[in-house]
């Protein structure tokens, strides 16, 4: 399949291979990969596919975990790669904002911004591209302080499925002159258009941080400690992550360079990564390490003290453990991964309920979970210990977990990974309300303007 004039295309299997495989082993087929370099070229590709009756999948950094950026195995879906969209990088220091093309990776953005003392404050273990981050509304480990991509996006450039280019929002932070249509595209996984540029809010780089691994006295005590830290440390609290023994164990086994900080190497049932940080360090400020030690010491004096032990260390070493969890679990065996969202109080209750339910009905799986307790996000990973996965088993297990997460605990079946083949079945089960609300809203707008 030829593409529009002037746009690089790939059609040879060996050239397309990297674009047809996802990080969790998903493999698709495609007749062509388009590699546009500008928004106008993206629009040309989209129009070309429409005229040819050819479906396409927009692909950003291809780091997603639900297969959304990989074509199916039918073989008629084109790949529209955004990896060469790098025409724009316009930094506005006075406004503390950045207009940037969708093909820049997060690491590149922050490397360029570092000399100006700024960064895009979404902390992830992977290195995605900006377009995909916006399309899936990623959150990351410091959501507690900075929020998600939605909170930090000021404007977008989007190509609709008919090739029309929309510029939504602007660098102006306060603008109530009409509906903020960019929010229709943030987190929509490209349903309504392909994101080619974004205007991002930037934050001052962190000048000081202090971290600790905290052993809670019980699972229930984790929320008590979180509330204590939010009360006593306030906006200094930037991360509150939990890690299960199974997940940490696989990380240590997979990454030999990781330092095990626990006495005698005995991994606790649960550990919390707690971080305080701030962008400034004035001469009169108390060092954050002293603040963290003092706040945790106070926690020992709370009734039913939530802290059993705490270990302080260099931030890069402690975060290395947290960022190694995904790869460690992936290497442990056949993996069924869930990205769930709950109100904070339901995370602990869900974990407890699933430990019993899965132990009874699926004893061959090991729960290797971790997550962002500060915002209710849970990476609920299940490793099958007795051989390869088959489709019937995986579907049965996924149905069980999703039913409990959504129906029994009122959670989200996709906290930040988006909607792809792994979640499409559950969108049809549980996400219809969103579609209905959109249709009702559009009909109301049409009636109002007739």
pLDDT at residue 237 tops 90: yes
pLDDT digits (tens, 9 = 90+) for 79-89: 999 999 999 99
Buried b (16+ CB within 10 A) or exposed e, 324-357: bbbebbbebbbbbbbbbbbebebbbebbeebeee
Residue 49 confidence (pLDDT): 93
Residue 282 confidence (pLDDT): 81
Residue 188 confidence (pLDDT): 86
Average confidence (pLDDT) over 391-398: 92
Least confident of 172-186, 359-373, 390-404, 428-442: 428-442
Q: Where are the beta strands (DSSP E) in 203-287?
A: 203-204, 208-216, 237-244, 270-278
Label the pairing between strands 56-59 and 78-81: parallel
Task: Give the number of other Cβ atoms within 10 Å of residue 295's Cβ.
Answer: 20
Contact 269, 221 (CB under 8 A): no
pLDDT at residue 228 tops 60: yes
pLDDT digits (tens, 9 = 90+) for 315-366: 999 999 999 998 999 999 999 999 999 999 999 999 999 999 999 999 999 9
pLDDT digits (tens, 9 = 90+) for 67-81: 677 888 888 899 999
pLDDT at residue 163 tops 80: yes
pLDDT digits (tens, 9 = 90+) for 168-192: 999 999 998 888 999 999 988 888 9
CA-wise closest residue to 389 among 418, 423, 414, 362:
362
pLDDT at residue 93 tops 90: yes
Query: Which pLDDT band, with edges at 50, 70 and 90, does 443 fall under?
Result: low
Q: What is the DSSP string of 4-56?
A: STT-EEE-SHHHHGGGSB-TTS-B---S-EEE--SHHHHHHHHHHHHHHT--E
pLDDT at residue 269 tops 90: yes
Mean pLDDT of all residues belonging to the chain:
89
pLDDT at residue 290 tops 80: yes
Residue 250 confidence (pLDDT): 96
Query: Which pLDDT band, with edges at 50, 70 and 90, does 450 fall under?
Result: low
Task: Determine the 3-state secondary structure of 211 from DSSP.
Answer: strand
Query: Which pLDDT band, with edges at 50, 70 and 90, does 379 fall under?
Result: very high
Contact 41, 7 (CB under 8 A): yes
Average confidence (pLDDT) over 312-316: 91
Average confidence (pLDDT) over 149-167: 95
Residue 447 confidence (pLDDT): 53
Residue 301 confidence (pLDDT): 84
298 phi, psi to nearest 5 deg: -60, -35
Q: In DSSP terms, which residues pair with 199 in a beta bridge?
A: 99, 155
Percent of the chain with pLDDT over 70: 94
Q: In DSSP terms, which residues pair with 165 in a beta bridge?
A: 159
pLDDT digits (tens, 9 = 90+) for 191-211: 899 999 999 999 999 999 999
Alpha-helix residue ranges (DSSP H) falling in 234-314: 245-254, 288-300
Cα–Cα distance list, 239 to 146, 189, 431 (Å): 10, 26, 30
Residue 4 confidence (pLDDT): 80
pLDDT at residue 444 tops 70: no
Task: Give the number of other Cβ atoms within 10 Å of residue 432's Cβ.
Answer: 10
Average confidence (pLDDT) over 302-322: 90
Q: Which tokens hold the place of 156?
A: 């977008």
Residue 441 confidence (pLDDT): 58
Domains and CATH numbers, the chain: 17-81 (3.30.43.10), 89-204 (3.30.465.10), 208-327 (3.30.70.2190), 333-434 (3.30.70.2740)
Q: What is the DSSP string of 114-140?
A: HTTTEE-----SS--BHHHHHHHT---
Q: Select the more confidently predicted residue: 292 or 414.
A: 292
Percent of the chain with pLDDT over 90: 69
Query: Which pLDDT band, with edges at 50, 70 and 90, does 143 fall under?
Result: confident
Contact 254, 328 (CB under 8 A): yes
Average confidence (pLDDT) over 94-120: 96
Q: In DSSP terms, which residues pair with 189 in a beta bridge?
A: none
Residue 381 confidence (pLDDT): 94
Residue 350 confidence (pLDDT): 96
Contact 214, 307 (CB under 8 A): yes
Average confidence (pLDDT) over 144-172: 94
Query: Which pLDDT band, with edges at 50, 70 and 90, does 124 fall under?
Result: confident
pLDDT at residue 438 tops 70: no
Least confident of 344-353, 403-412, 431-440: 431-440
Average confidence (pLDDT) over 296-302: 90
pLDDT at residue 446 tops 70: no
First to last CA, the chain: 43
* C-alpha torsion sign, points 308, 312, 313, 315: positive
Contact 64, 187 (CB under 8 A): no
pLDDT digits (tens, 9 = 90+) for 7-63: 999 999 999 999 988 777 778 888 999 999 999 999 999 999 999 999 999 988 777
């Amino acid at each position: 399949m030829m593409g529009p004039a002037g746009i690089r295309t790939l059609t040879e299997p060996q050239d397309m291979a990297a674009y047809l495989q996802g990080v969790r082993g998903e493999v698709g087929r495609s007749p062509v990969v388009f590699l546009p370099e500008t928004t106008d070229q993206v629009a040309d590709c989209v129009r070309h596919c429409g005229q040819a009756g050819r479906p396409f999948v927009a692909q950003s950094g291809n780091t997603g975990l639900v297969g959304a950026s990989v074509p199916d195995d039918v073989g008629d879906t084109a790949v529209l790669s955004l990896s060469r969209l790098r025409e724009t990088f316009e930094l506005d220091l006075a406004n503390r904002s950045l207009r940037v093309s969708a093909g820049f990776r997060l690491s590149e953005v922050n490397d360029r911004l570092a000399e100006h003392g700024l960064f895009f404050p979404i902390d992830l273990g992977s290195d995605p591209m900006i377009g995909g981050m916006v399309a899936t509304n990623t959150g990351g480990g410091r959501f507690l302080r900075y929020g998600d991509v939605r909170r930090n996006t000021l404007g977008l450039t989007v190509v609709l499925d008919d090739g029309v280019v929309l510029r939504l929002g602007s660098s102006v932070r306060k603008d109530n002159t009409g509906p903020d249509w960019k929010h229709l595209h943030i987190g929509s996984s490209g349903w309504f258009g392909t994101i080619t540029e974004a205007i991002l809010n930037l934050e001052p780089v962190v000048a000081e941080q202090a971290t600790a691994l905290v052993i809670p006295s019980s699972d229930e005590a984790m929320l008590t400690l979180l509330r204590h830290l939010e009360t006593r440390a306030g906006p200094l609290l930037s991360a509150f992550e939990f890690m299960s023994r199974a997940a940490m164990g696989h990380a240590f086994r997979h990454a030999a360079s990781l330092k095990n900080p626990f006495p005698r190497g005995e991994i606790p049932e649960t550990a919390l990564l707690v971080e305080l940080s701030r962008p400034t360090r004035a001469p009169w400020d108390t060092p954050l390490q002293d603040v963290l030690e003092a706040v945790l010491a106070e926690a020992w004096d709370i009734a039913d003290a939530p802290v059993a032990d705490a270990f302080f260390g260099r931030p890069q070493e402690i975060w290395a453990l947290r960022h190694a969890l995904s790869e460690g679990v992936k290497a442990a065996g056949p993996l069924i991964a869930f990205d769930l969202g709950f109100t904070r109080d339901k995370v602990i209750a869900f974990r407890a309920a699933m430990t019993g339910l899965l132990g009874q009905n699926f004893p061959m799986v090991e729960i290797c979970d971790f997550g962002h307790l500060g915002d209710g996000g849970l990476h609920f990973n299940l490793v099958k210990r007795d051989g390869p996965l088959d489709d019937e088993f995986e579907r049965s297990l996924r149905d069980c977990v999703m039913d409990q997460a959504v129906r029994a605990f009122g959670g989200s079946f996709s906290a930040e990974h988006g909607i792809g083949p792994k979640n499409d079945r559950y969108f049809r089960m549980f996400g219809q309300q969103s579609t209905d609300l959109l249709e009702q809203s559009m009909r109301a707008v049409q009636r109002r303007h007739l």
